Amino acid sequence: MSDYNFAYLDEQTKRMIRRAILKGLAIPGYQVPFASREMPMPYGWGTGGVQVSAATLVPEDRMKVIDQGADDTTNAVSIRKFFERTAGVETTEETGRATLIQTRHRIPEEALGEDQILVYQVPIPEPLRFLEPRETETRKMHALEEYGLMHVKLYEDISQHGAIATSYAYPVKVEGRYVMDPSPIPKFDNPKMGMAAIQLFGAGREQRIYALPPWCEVVSLDFEDHPFEPSKAEHECDLCAAGDSYLDEVIVDDAGGRMFVCSDTDYCRQRRAAGHMGAQGVPYEEGAA
């Protein structure tokens, strides 16, 4: 046997995952259990996201894979290759041209449209897990909407750090009902979650799928006297001068030299192609790194 079924998984498995996805979309923020499969990659590399992508892909799709915003890191490259080989779909690095985007830890800067799907890789789907280790208890808390504990975590943040120090995987409440872990995206990305695209979350090891339909109401939890603030480095991108994008801090030498660059590589590239240039940037050349 040399050929894989389209997108690696067999049709029965994809059907099972699609059922979980549909249920997740019908109950936004609710964690739907599913029979996660062994994938040809280790847990923690996005096995949940890959299964959701495999179940959602159609041959006409154009796929983009990002890891921490970048198209060219190991995780992104290997997952993109995986689907190129097993599904034969076209791939792209351009956010606007992609119909399905699998992401780890970021939402692209460019606003997504109604004809796009964003698939997240989720390590720990249960937002209450670190406060309440018992699964039976957390399920009950979701069922009965007992979410006081989530604020205990934020309270602890303020009492220890003077402000809500949670900067990623910042808990949100969906449609006034379920409290959800948005996967480890920076809280800078939280306000983008009420978007036109469908958002699907897959946790392979924990065997959970959840979803947000388009234009879902997603509210970041906070206190009245300590409101939610999306934060980013107080800087502009050193390559493309963008002031509105999420930045990575990169150490460039042993003498304390550093630069801030867009974590979304495609966004940065497009801006440089359009002629923007940051403090440490060089003029853009097609095909150059």
Partner 1 sequence: MTPLLQVRDVAKFYGARVGCKDVSFDLYPGEVMGIVGESGSGKSTLLNCLAGHLEPDAGEVIFDTAVDGPRDTLTMSEPERRMLSRTDWAFVHQHAREGLRMGVSAGGNVGERLMAVGARHYGDIRSSAIDWLGRVEIAEDRVDDRPTAFSGGMQQRLQIARNLVTGPRLVFMDEPTGGLDVSVQARLLDLLRGLVREMGLSAIIVTHDLAVVRLLADRLMVMKDGHVVETGLTDQVLDDPQHGYTQLLVSSVLQV
Ramachandran class of 169: left when φ > 0, alpha when ψ lies in -120 to 50, beta otherwise: left
Q: Which of 1, 38, 115, 148 binds partner 1 (CB under 8 A)?
A: 148
CA 196 – CA 72 distance, rounded (Å) = 26
Could you give the angle at which helices 74-86 and 47-56 cross, rounded to 10 degrees? 30
Q: Which is nearer to partner 1, 148 or 275 (CB)?
A: 148
Indicate if 216 belongs to the active site.
no
Q: Which of 16, 27, 77, 158 binds partner 1 (CB under 8 A)?
A: 158
CA 283 – CA 76 distance, rounded (Å) = 26
Give the nearest distance from C-beta 158 to partner 1 in angstroms: 6
And the tokens for 204? 């392979």
Is 250 a binder of partner 1 (CB under 8 A)? Answer: no
Q: Which stretch binds partner 1 (CB under 8 A): 75-83, 84-92, 157-165, 194-202?
A: 157-165
Strand runs labelled E in the chain: 32-33, 62-67, 90-91, 100-104, 117-121, 172-174, 178-180, 198-203, 208-212, 218-220, 247-251, 258-262
And the tokens for 248? 């990575």
Q: Which of 131, 219, 241, 277 binds partner 1 (CB under 8 A)?
A: 131
CA 150 – CA 282 distance, rounded (Å) = 46
- Out of 46, 69, 262, 281, the active site residue is 262
Q: How far is CA 186 from CA 200, 276, 279, 286, in A?
A: 17, 25, 25, 30
- Out of 29, 49, 202, 281, the active site residue is 29
Q: How many residues of this chain interact with partner 1, rule: CB under 8 A?
A: 16
Give the nearest distance from C-beta 24 to partner 1 in angstroms: 24
CB atoms within 10 A of CB 130: 9
Indicate if 237 belongs to the active site.
yes
CA–CA–CA angle 62, 182, 179 (5° rounding): 135
Indicate if 29 belongs to the active site.
yes
Is 35 a binder of partner 1 (CB under 8 A)? Answer: no
Is 155 a binder of partner 1 (CB under 8 A)? Answer: yes
Give the nearest distance from C-beta 133 to partner 1 in angstroms: 10
Is 175 a binder of partner 1 (CB under 8 A)? Answer: no
Q: Which of 18, 41, 96, 146 binds partner 1 (CB under 8 A)?
A: 146
Q: Which is nearer to partner 1, 37 or 129 (CB)?
A: 129
Is 241 a binder of partner 1 (CB under 8 A)? Answer: no
With beta carbons less than 8 A apart as the criterion, state whether 240 and 268 touch.
yes
And the tokens for 87? 């599904």
Give the nearest distance from C-beta 156 to partner 1 in angstroms: 5
- Within residues 180-239, the interface with partner 1 by CB under 8 A covers 223-226
Give the nearest distance from C-beta 226 to partner 1 in angstroms: 5
Give per-residue burial for 251-260: e unless 16+ CB within 10 Å, then b. eeeeeeeebb
Q: Which residues participate in catalysis according to the annotation?
A: 29, 237, 240, 262, 268
Residues that bind partner 1 (CB under 8 A): 131, 144, 146, 148-149, 151-152, 155-156, 158-160, 223-226
